[in-house]
Amino acid sequence: MEVPRYWRLQKQRYALVGEICPHCQVKIFPPRDVCPECGGEAKQPFSFSGKGTVFSFTTMYDAPKGFEMNTPYTVALVKLEEGPVVTAQLTDLGEQPVEIGMPVEMVTRRIREDEEDKGIIVYGYKFRPVMAGTH
């Protein structure tokens, strides 16, 4: 992935930093230039808790470029507790079967790697089953 493109979205990717609309208070992720609820502009940064539930998911056996080394992997729509739904990989599933409605939590992981071992490593959010002992 091109460095500037990766770099400018680091905060969003590393830590699920989205936005809150100053007009209608809706929480937005990924960031948008116009609020999808009220049409207002100008947002303030908002850090999401990273807690959510699986809304839908799929285990992929055919990967696009940049992800070939990770198959099979599971991608999900995760409904965050603050409202928005995000697309993210699930990780650390172990033997646990995934189900719609399963509680998950955000972790920061390696997302992809291009140019073999020469390019930058792209880090970003993934979700895992909520860990026992997490409060």
Partner 1 sequence: MCDVVIAGIGQVPVGEHWGVPLRTLAARAMLAAQRDAGGLKPQALYVGNLLSPVVSHQSNLGTLLADNAGMSGIEAFTVEAAEASGAGALRAGYLAVLSGYVDVAMVVGVEKFTDAVGPVIEGAMSETMDYDFEATNGLTPTAAAAMVMRLYMQTYDLPSDGLAGFPVLAHENALNNPNAYFRRALTREGYARAAMLSTPLNLYDKAPYADGAAAVILTRPDRLKKALEHPLVQVRGSGAAIDTLALHDRHDPLAFHAAVVAIQNACRHAGILPADVQVFELSDNFSVYAALCLEAGGFAQRGAGWKLANGDELSLKGRLPVCTMGGMKARGNPAGASGVYQVVEACLQLRGEAGANQVRDARRALTLCLGGPASTAVCHVLQTWQ
Partner 2 sequence: METASEKSESLALKPDRPVGIIGYGAYVPRYRLPATQVARLWSGEGEGDLPVKEKSVAGLDEDVATMSIEAARNALSRAGISPSALRAVWVGSESHPYAVKPTSTIVAEAIGATPYIQAGDWEFACKAGTEALVAAIGLVGSGMGRYALAIGMDIAQGQPGDALEYTAASGGAAYVIGPADESLAVIEATFSYVTDTPDFWRRAHQVYPSHGQRFTGEPAYFKHISNAAQTLMESLGTKPADYRYAVFHQPNTRFPQMVGKRLGFSDEQIKPGLLSPVIGNTYAGAALIGLSAVLDVASPGDCILVTSYGSGAGSDAMHICVTSAIEERRSRAPLTRDYIARRSEIDYATYARYRGKIRMK
Site residues, partner 2 (CB under 8 A): 10-11, 14-15, 47, 69-70, 89, 91-92, 94-95, 107-111, 116, 121, 123, 126, 131-135
Distances (CA, A) of 115 to 14, 51, 119: 21, 33, 5
Residue 16 or 35 with smaller CB distance to partner 2: 16
Residue 85 or 108 with smaller CB distance to partner 2: 108
Please, are residues 91 and 75 in contact by the beta-carbon 8 Å criterion?
no
Distance in Å, CB of 110 to partner 2, minimum: 4
CA separation for the pair 45, 83 (Å, rounded)? 15
Residue 53 or 89 with smaller CB distance to partner 2: 89
